[in-house]
Amino acid sequence: MKLPTSLAYERSIDPSDVCFFVVWPDDKKTPLTYTSRTLLGQMETASLAYDASGQPIKSATAEALAQGNPHQVDICRVPFG
């Protein structure tokens, strides 16, 4: 059996703990490390400011609309070799 040279994993690994390993040519196993970053995205929907009839929503203040849309991104880099 030939092992793949790249790792692709989509979806969430929650709620369980998981550990991925890289197996080197000398059969040594090393756990892969990951970096977790929080990014601040934009709110891009008219439904936050307008109702279905097109009228402005009273609670849609400039302060409320300026709030960001945080995303947490986990990154794992597979070493080459």
pLDDT of residue 21: 84
Measured between alpha carbons, how far is 66 from 15 in angstroms, rounded to an integer? 32
* 8 Å CB contact between 36 and 73: yes
6-9: Cβ within 8 A, 24+ apart: 6/78, 7/76, 7/78, 9/76
pLDDT of residue 9: 67
* 8 Å CB contact between 10 and 27: no
pTM of the model: 0.42
- What is the full per-residue pLDDT of the chain (81 aa) written as tens digits? 566 566 666 666 565 667 788 888 888 998 888 888 898 887 777 777 888 898 988 888 877 777 788 888 888 777 776
